[in-house]
Amino acid sequence: MNYQFQTHAQAAQVNADCVVVGIYKSNELSAAAQELNTASSGAITEHLELGDFSGDKQRFSMLYQLPGVAAKRVLLVGLGERDKLNVDTLVQATHLAAASLKATKTHQVVSFLTDEAAQEIAENAVRQSVVAVADTFYSFNDFKSNKEDIPAPNLENWIFAHHTEANLEIATRQGAAIAEGMKLCRDLANSPGNQCTPTYLAKTALKLGHSQANLEVEVLEEAHMAELGMGSFLSVSKGSEEPGKMIILHYKGGQAEDAPVALVGKGITFDTGGISLKPGAAMDEMKFDMTGAASVLGTFAACVAMQLPINVIGVLAAAENMPSGKASKPGDIVTSMAGKTIEILNTDAEGRLVLCDALTYVERYQPKAVIDIATLTGACITALGHHISGLLSNNDELANEVLAAGKQANDEAWRLPMGEKYQDQLKSNFADMANIGGPPAGTITAACFLARFTESYPWVHLDIAGTAWKSGAAKGSTGRPVPLLCQWLINRAQ
């Protein structure tokens, strides 16, 4: 899909297969709809008077071959009440428009929906609307044999048109880059565990690095990790025939002397639970347990496409968690890269074991801020459901930054508490700490565990267990939290 932005556009004159305009509640016309109505001698008003369509949200109506209008189709989309118009409304309307055009023979669309946005929200409305269109047309068919039976969408160009001089080309390009980053994240997460292994993630990162002069990629093998003392990471990867990988990306978009920010992703490419074996029901969805790492790769792809003026480090802790004769056992004690000993009470709490060594490793870059992203705890789904990611942090300023970016990107997070009172749950009789804290406050105690390895820098932990993928009929990766991470980097770069 090609996304463009056009200024000084006239709705009645644009040459397109379809022009999309908004209608407010009580059949109030948007500026572009009014222009079409005038050009067509009141055809839109006549259509509204029939009463089959209203300007309520989630309503749409297609008109064809209007007199005086160059476009072949006119799609009317409800925007609800004018005084309640916001970014969410415009994004939902764009999503609805894209969905309604998906099965048509439309090749080029000119949409005036974001033309209704107030100046202060226009940039964000355009950026998010690009992502909405891309989300509507996303599909994953790599492993289906009869690809000729899968209908390909006809749509090729989506143009965001505004009457005004507002220059929103950058926002359009940013939206397209974020959409591409989300696609990479989703493609990786949707791939089966026998394809998307730690080695496959490493190859994907190296391929991305080879395409850009300002992106360097390094892969640490298990032997090197052993030399570095990453006993916690290796306690997970040793149970699998697939070798674990620590993948490091270094995007150099800022000044050489600028300290970087860092993104650290959990990359468990399949999680059986290890010796603490998971139940069989829905275990196939544990291929999504590498979405933290996939979201970091997707964010880097977007960052490269946007050429953001910022330095960013990415660390992907990639491993399989399998129940072999070499696997860790409950009660085993391992030593982390930080020199702290960990009693493994449950081998299914493996994400924090790979992340803690990655969070220690990233210290060498002296980062200004670190965000780790992980499908870490089922407890987070119990607490927040599937709409909002969990956020915990050792730094209020950074936490507020990330929360604000999430709101901006419509990829929200909610901050949970974290304090010394919860640390007591991680006490071990035999090691410095246990890797689980029992059933109460499972998301919080998981973050408390990671906090012991992040004391030298401002840090945010994102638990995306509830938001990384959908189950049921719509099973598949969501691409989250790529929008949140990209928005945070955009804000930091500015």
* C-alpha–C-alpha distance, residues 151 and 153, integer Å: 6
In sequence order, the β-bridge partners of residue 317 are 246, 266
Query: Closest Cα to residue 171, out of 103, 105, 208, 123?
Result: 123
**Is there a catalytic annotation at residue 352?**
yes
User: How long a stretch of residues is the chain?
Assistant: 494
In sequence order, the β-bridge partners of residue 248 are 218, 315
* C-alpha–C-alpha distance, residues 193 and 203, integer Å: 15
Q: Tell me the CB-side half-sphere exposure of residue 232, using CA atoms within 13 A.
A: 32
Return the H-helix or E-strand segment holding 182. Answer: helix 169-190
How many C-beta atoms lie closer than 10 Å to residue 328's C-beta? 24
Cα separation of the two ends of the chain: 28
DSSP 64-87: ES-TT-SSSEEEEEEEE-GGG--H
Pairing of strands 18-24, 108-111: parallel
* Residue 169 phi, psi dihedral angles, 5° rounding: -65, -40
Q: Tell me the CB-side half-sphere exposure of residue 53, using CA atoms within 13 A.
A: 22
Query: Looking at 186, 245, 352, 480, which residue is catalytic?
Result: 352
**Is there a catalytic annotation at residue 207?**
no
Contact (CB, 8 A) for 317 and 201: no
C-alpha dist (Å) from residue 473 to 41, 384, 407, 469, 470: 45, 21, 28, 12, 9
Query: Looking at 278, 340, 407, 415, which residue is catalytic?
Result: 278
Query: Closest Cα to residue 126, out of 214, 4, 287?
Result: 4
Cα–Cα–Cα angle for 61, 67, 68, rounded to 5 degrees = 110
* C-alpha–C-alpha distance, residues 30 and 37, integer Å: 10
* Residue 217 phi, psi dihedral angles, 5° rounding: -130, 135
353-379 burial by CB neighbour count: b if 16+ within 10 A, else e?
bbbbbbbbbbbebebbbbbbbbbbbeb
Which residues carry out catalysis? Answer: 278, 352
